[in-house]
Amino acid sequence: MKKNILFLFLFFYITNFFAQSERKMVREGNEFYKENNFVNAETNYLKALNKNENSFEAKFNLANALYKQKKYAQADSIFTNLASEFGKYTENKNITNQDLAKVFHNKGNSLLKQKKYAESIDAYKQALRRNPNDENTRYNLAYAQKMLKQEQQNQQQQNKNGEGDENKDDKNDKNKEQNKNKNDKNKNDKNNDKNNQNKNENDQDGDGIPDKTEKGSNPSKPRDTDKDGTPDYKDQDSDNDGIPDNQEAGEKPENPKDTDKDGIPDYRDTDSDNDGTPDSQEKPVVQKISKEDAKHILEALENDEKVLQQKLKEQNAKKAKVKAEKDW
């Protein structure tokens, strides 16, 4: 009997010791994270996971630390793992569906940084299903949809130009009127391409802020605010605070907003309101949408879900039909 009591005492003592050690590592990692020392933060979160591989907080914060180091693919992999295994974390009453929404939101950000717009849109929709009132997620979803549309338009334009070249080679024997019409069309296409190219060259990262503004006073050595090797005019997050430049630039991006009037616009200022707290740790100001717009977004999500379910039913029905015919 005494041996059993001693064994239980040692078991609970060791369990408690490792739990405290894990929490200590997470707390230390959080302190490093607040100081923007993301490498040391990553190290401490890994140590915590070595003590307890099922620590939701350590794993979630590790992914965030990797994201801050621009290791977007690694961060996405961890967020994906958290989402797929979320059920085992809900045994802890402190872990709720709101936390899963955060996982999908941050997964969406990681995919967005990799320019995987379609996948990021799906992640943001998953986040909104868990937390429909998150304006940050709605804003990011709208931004990702805009970037996907722009990407598709660029692709269509490229395909159109390619088809135009093929048609030109195949129709050399047609009459002069047809050739004249075709040449006029090609000329218009080229002019449109030139206009689009000039537009893109004036704002290569598509954040609304003119490249001339982002390059600074010495265009031959364009400004690189966060020293990441990508100049501001090609970087959608110039100060690497996690808030897109087009959001920080304000309603008139050609004249970027400078909240604290210190001469440094918000998109280059890591503490834009000069309150001593980095913008990355504050809730960003997001574009407001009306209740009616929010309702339309949710209705669109529901319609997408219904269409998907209908397609799955049709596919299953076709499979069943094919199988029956084969058996017959």
Kindly report, residue by residue over 217-260, the tens digit of the pLDDT.
888 888 998 888 889 888 888 888 778 877 788 878 888 888 88
Are both 246 and 311 inside the same structural domain? Answer: no
Residue 191: inside a domain, yes or no?
no
> Using 50, 70 and 90 to split pLDDT, how confident is the model at 178?
low
Query: Could you read off the pLDDT of 298-313 as tens digits, one per residue?
Result: 666 666 666 666 766 7
pLDDT at res. 284: 43
Which whole number is the average pLDDT over 119-148? 95
Residue 183: inside a domain, yes or no?
no
pLDDT at res. 132: 93
Alpha carbons 68 and 64: distance in angstroms, whole number: 6
Q: Where are the alpha helices (DSSP H) in the chain?
A: 2-34, 38-51, 56-68, 72-84, 86-89, 97-113, 117-130, 135-170, 176-202, 211-215, 245-248, 291-327
Angle, in degrees to the nearest 10, between helices 97-113 and 72-84: 150
Are both 133 and 259 inside the same structural domain? Answer: no
pLDDT at res. 146: 94
Are both 268 and 244 inside the same structural domain? Answer: yes
Are both 24 and 73 inside the same structural domain? Answer: yes
pLDDT at res. 254: 86
Looking up residue 81, the CATH number of its domain turns out to be 1.25.40.10
CA angle (58 as vertex; 92, 120 as ends), nearest 5:
95
Residue 158: inside a domain, yes or no?
no
Residue 135: inside a domain, yes or no?
yes
Residue 173: inside a domain, yes or no?
no
Does residue 115 surpass a pLDDT of 90? Answer: yes
Does residue 151 surpass a pLDDT of 50? Answer: yes
Residue 257: inside a domain, yes or no?
yes
Query: Could you read off the pLDDT of 2-45 as tens digits, one per residue?
Result: 444 444 444 444 444 444 678 889 999 999 999 999 999 999 99
Are both 137 and 55 inside the same structural domain? Answer: yes
Read off the pTM.
Answer: 0.49
Alpha carbons 149 and 139: distance in angstroms, whole number: 15
Domain that holds residue 246: 205-289
Are both 56 and 15 inside the same structural domain? Answer: yes
As given in the structure block, the two tokens for residue 312 are 């799955």
Alpha carbons 198 and 212: distance in angstroms, whole number: 13
Q: What size, in residues, is the chain?
A: 328
Residue 50: inside a domain, yes or no?
yes
Are both 93 and 115 inside the same structural domain? Answer: yes
Q: Burial of 179 by CB count in 10 Å (0-12 exposed, 13-18 middle, 19+ buried)? A: middle
Are both 104 and 89 inside the same structural domain? Answer: yes
Does residue 262 surpass a pLDDT of 90? Answer: no
Are both 296 and 279 inside the same structural domain? Answer: no
Question: What is the maximum span of the chain, computed from C-alpha positions, in angstroms?
Answer: 106
- Domain end (from 144, 172, 189): 144
As given in the structure block, the two tokens for residue 11 are 């078991």
- Domain end (from 126, 144, 162): 144
> How many domains would you assign to the chain?
3
Residue 178: inside a domain, yes or no?
no
Are both 235 and 308 inside the same structural domain? Answer: no
pLDDT at res. 263: 86
- Domain end (from 119, 144, 169): 144
Are both 248 and 262 inside the same structural domain? Answer: yes
Are both 99 and 212 inside the same structural domain? Answer: no
Query: Could you read off the pLDDT of 183-226 as tens digits, one per residue?
Result: 676 666 666 555 555 545 688 877 788 988 988 888 888 899 88
Alpha carbons 163 and 137: distance in angstroms, whole number: 39
First-to-last alpha carbon distance for the chain, in angstroms, is 70
